[in-house]
Amino acid sequence: MKDSAIYIHIPFCDHKCIYCDFYSIITSDNISNFLSALKNEISFYSGNYSDRIFSSIYFGGGTPSLMEPEYLEEIISFVKEKYSVADDAEITLETNPGTVDKSKLEKFHEIGINRISIGIQSFNNDELKFLTRIHDKETAVRTVLDAYEIGFDNISIDLIFNLPKQTKGKWKYNLQSAVELPVKHISAYSLILERGTILNKMVLDGRVAMQEEDYDAELYEITIDFLTGHGFYQYEVSNFTKPGYECRHNNAYWRYRDYLSFGPSAHSFVDGRRWWNFSSLKRYISEIEKNKTAVAGFELINAETSLSEYVMLALRSSGLDIGEFKSIFGKSWLIQKKDFLQEIENRRLARMSDGKLQLTKSGYAICDEILAKLL
């Protein structure tokens, strides 16, 4: 059976952070209607994928941890009823400090959630205030410790670097605070301006100045050196893990595996076909009621695009497996790109290891530039 993954988008939030461009709504309206629509969508696709086993269920958002445990339990049970879910499936819940207490985390653990991804972003209260997060450092630390104490062994946290006026010292403090906690996985992202966000408007209005790209690169290299020096290894451009705790769901994306996604704005990729749902929650519910699906658009991935996406995802993560690539795409592209691939090896931007071409620390730092030239 094919190994696949499931993503479920919970769109509800308590407020919109200034940098966020994910689809979310600040209202509790339609929570029950959304659950009904979601279950109908899950049911609609279930008959087509009996040849698959799903080793990952990922609740993203939005803020899924705003939901009551019973709400998420109903979704998990319904997915398991309609699909073949592995006994040891990784079930991840994105969680924001300030939306959970120890009792709620314990209930999440009891319903089968076995991986928590906590959106901390910073351990500096001034930075948290700038990012308009609802929590402070103390709440963030307490959330991690509570999760660990009630039995979550697989805890991930998110951090953001290159905030306006962020010094190297402040960023190192965030990293040090992270590794002192019982976390197994750290996602460290550079602050990016996304169109339509509050932050983007603040920059356009001159109220906020972003830092230079060279400084961003310096902070990124500090991140790699620090985390790899504290027992984490880098398995994707922005992701670091203790051995054995790679995120299965992320790997489904990065290793070009199939995944089904449910909920507003969710994107799916199965058998070379990609489709995406309407973003508006009201439109999503309406479409499900009428059609049992809420697809806003789709594309068929041709051979050239498939090759490019495969290479891009592989080099951004654990490396390009040469043997697997040849079995899927043949040898001609490798022959065509032989000189450039040899060049990035010679410049120590990449290395061959166990049959994989992997980017080095220096290669990760200019990953987008390498991919632009390669593809």
Per the CB < 8 A criterion, the answer to whether 203 and 193 are in contact is yes
Query: What is the per-residue pLDDT for 100?
Result: 97
Residue 213: how many CB atoms within 10 A of its CB? Answer: 10
Query: What is the per-residue pLDDT for 21?
Result: 81
DSSP 276: E
Query: What is the per-residue pLDDT for 295?
Result: 98
Query: What is the per-residue pLDDT for 105?
Result: 98
Residue 112: how many CB atoms within 10 A of its CB? Answer: 15
Query: What is the per-residue pLDDT for 196?
Result: 85
From-to residues of CATH 3.20.20.70 in the chain:
2-254
Average pLDDT, the chain: 95
> What is the distance between the alpha carbons of residues 41 and 75, in angstroms, rounded to a whole number?
12
For range 353-361, the mean pLDDT: 94
Amino acid at 72: L
Chain segment 98-114, per-residue pLDDT in tens: 999 999 999 999 999 99
> What is the distance between the alpha carbons of residues 319 and 177, in angstroms, rounded to a whole number?
29
CATH of domain 303-374: 1.10.10
> What is the distance between the alpha carbons of residues 345 and 41, in angstroms, rounded to a whole number?
47
> What is the distance between the alpha carbons of residues 145 and 157, in angstroms, rounded to a whole number?
12
Roughly what angle, to the nearest 10 degrees, separates helices 338-346 and 367-374? 160
For range 212-239, the mean pLDDT: 96
When pLDDT is cut at 50, 70 and 90, the band that residue 333 belongs to is very high
Per the CB < 8 A criterion, the answer to whether 118 and 95 are in contact is yes
Structure tokens that stand for 246 in this block:
């790679």
pTM score: 0.95
- Strand locations in 246-337, DSSP E? 259-262, 267-270, 273-277, 295-300, 320-321
pLDDT at 90 over 80: yes
Query: What is the per-residue pLDDT for 23?
Result: 82
Query: What is the per-residue pLDDT for 206?
Result: 85
> What is the distance between the alpha carbons of residues 12 and 281, in angstroms, rounded to a whole number?
10
When pLDDT is cut at 50, 70 and 90, the band that residue 41 belongs to is very high
From-to residues of CATH 1.10.10 in the chain:
303-374
pLDDT at 77 over 80: yes
pLDDT at 276 over 90: yes
When pLDDT is cut at 50, 70 and 90, the band that residue 27 belongs to is confident
Query: What is the per-residue pLDDT for 200?
Result: 83
Query: What is the per-residue pLDDT for 282?
Result: 96
Query: Which class is 2-254 in CATH?
Result: alpha beta
For range 124-146, the mean pLDDT: 96
DSSP assignment string, 122-148: -S-HHHHHHTT-S--HHHHHHHHHHHH
Per the CB < 8 A criterion, the answer to whether 262 and 248 are in contact is no
pLDDT at 205 over 90: no
* Three-class DSSP category at 296: strand
* Three-class DSSP category at 206: coil
Query: What is the per-residue pLDDT for 309?
Result: 97
> What is the distance between the alpha carbons of residues 249 and 213, in angstroms, rounded to a whole number?
30
When pLDDT is cut at 50, 70 and 90, the band that residue 349 belongs to is very high
> What is the distance between the alpha carbons of residues 326 and 334, in angstroms, rounded to a whole number?
8
- High-pLDDT (> 70) share of the chain, %: 100
